[in-house]
Copies of this chain bind each other. A is one copy, B any other.
């Protein structure tokens, strides 16, 4: 029993925060009045309160209350009592390190496998893969491990980016970086372009949104999949 929405990004170009996902979020959160928000990834170093305020404002559109997990004296209790969860984007190293420090990963995993509605954007989506080793973020803190929740049987690369045309930049492309990952690991990687998300219901995993996604498996050519494609085979 799983009920996840894992998005590449929270915000599209010229869009408002979570705007393009609202219809899908209405469905995901249909039985919840209040969403427990995990602000630990701190995009741009924003404070937990400020981040939670932004999220809360966005969810007013679909009449949901938002409680920041940091406002609970005991963050375990916040997860145990949550009707629904949202883990926001930011820096994946910072997010994972906080969750390890607070020892919240086992509990989070249990609740996700029980069917707690879960939204992840960017770092929050990365968190549901097997490891965070296909993040794009800088390693600004040192987490005790790169192991993540394993709520899906692959890794995610959010904000997946095609090699720019006409670029004179010689830094590695995203595809090259994922290929390097596959010289050490055989975990499949789903490159989620901005505007795409995965909807996980039990063992059913389907791509949604406008862009295609790009699937990388060790020793195989990369494959493009269309919105609507099921990827439970990974």
Contact = CB atoms under 8 A, between A and B. Distances in A.
Contact of A177 (B133, B137, B183): B137
Interface size, A (range): 35 or more
Q: How many copies does the complex hold?
A: 2
A229 interface: no
Contact of A179 (B44, B134, B180): B44
Interface stretch (A109-117, A139-147, A197-205): A139-147
Majority secondary structure, A binding face: loop
B9 A170 contact: yes
A70 to B, nearest CB: 16
A170 B194 contact: yes
A233 interface: no
Contact of A142 (B146, B169, B178, B194): B146
Contacts of A132: 139
Interface string A156-178: 00110100100011111000111
Contact of A140 (B9, B14, B93, B181): B181
Contact of A42 (B169, B178, B183): B183
Q: Which 8 A-B pairs have the closest CB atoms?
A: A45-B183, A159-B171, A13-B168, A140-B181, A138-B177, A133-B139, A142-B146, A9-B170
